[in-house]
Structure 1
């Protein structure tokens, strides 16, 4: 049995975005229990030169919408990066899940060989859909979800591997 591009992207994105919603819920519950504001977490980072938690969530969702749109050969939706609260971040993740619900296996059929052009460092980089999904989009997505997890964990939110894996 061979896997389709849909199989290697959409279910993976859905699972991890659903887990990210659970991270937000656990973090909010932890903040209430320990009596601190979630704005502390929204703006926290692991290092001074790092993008804060909210940016990690935004970029993770950007990689999802970029990946499925490019693979389907349609324009990537443009969403403003204005989320500053847990509720707004949840809405963004849900919006991304809604986008994924609209993706069909047929819309991604044949995309493993479709050329995808990215602007990297001011240059156009062309790769086939399979390489794009497996070497760029998925690794970047996982990097930002993992970093969001690590920021929360670093702040004492009681998350574990089961939360990450789902």
Structure 2
């Protein structure tokens, strides 16, 4: 007879989210330096996209932020702060990421206790998705966050920003 494996939802989520946010801030700094060196306007980079039907770079950053704070709030049992999604410069995107990092760090680990079985309901304009906490974290939130981190990275690489795998991984 096997025993059920226990998971520490705080340790399975917060360090992963903080690592991704911190790496993304460093990537954003490299993009900002590259744009300044090449005399490229913030708006050109912030509006860059891989395909016409994809969201632009700035929206990718906003969605990483939204996902990260959603993980901390939903699993930590606190109110999810709302951000305006109006960033129009590198400075404002840096501020957004730092505000998200600060929020995630502020959520007490004790609020995550039992969140693996907590009901999580996400409401979108076209549908509602219901999860238990562990399924939300592992099957939706973390993959979604890394989709947007990867897309932001790919937009910058495609634009010419000199980034490598070590930047993505934080090495």
- Distance in 2 between the 1:24 and 1:72 partners? 27
- Distance in 1 between the 2:94 and 2:45 partners? 14
Gaps of 5+ in 1: none
- Distance in 2 between the 1:80 and 1:35 partners? 28
- Stretch moving more, 44-53 or 102-111: 102-111
- Stretch moving more, 14-23 or 122-131: 122-131
Q: What residue is the counterpart of 1:110 in the other structure?
A: 114
Runs (4 or more) in structure 1 with deviation over 4 Å come to none
- Stretch moving more, 145-154 or 100-109: 100-109
The number of equivalent residue pairs is 166
Gaps of 5+ in 2: none
After TM superposition, list the pairs within 5 Å mapping 1:59-98 onto structure 2.
59-98=63-102
In the superposition, the TM-score normalised over structure 1's length comes to 0.94
Say whether 1:160 aligns with 2:164: yes
Which residue, 26, 36, 41 being the options, matches 1:37?
A: 41
Say whether 1:8 aligns with 2:5: no
Q: How large is the RMSD of aligned CA atoms in angstroms?
A: 1.5
In the superposition, the TM-score normalised over structure 2's length comes to 0.91
Deviations 1:110-130 (A, max 9, x none): 100111111245443221100
* Aligned partner of residue 117 in structure 2, secondary structure: coil
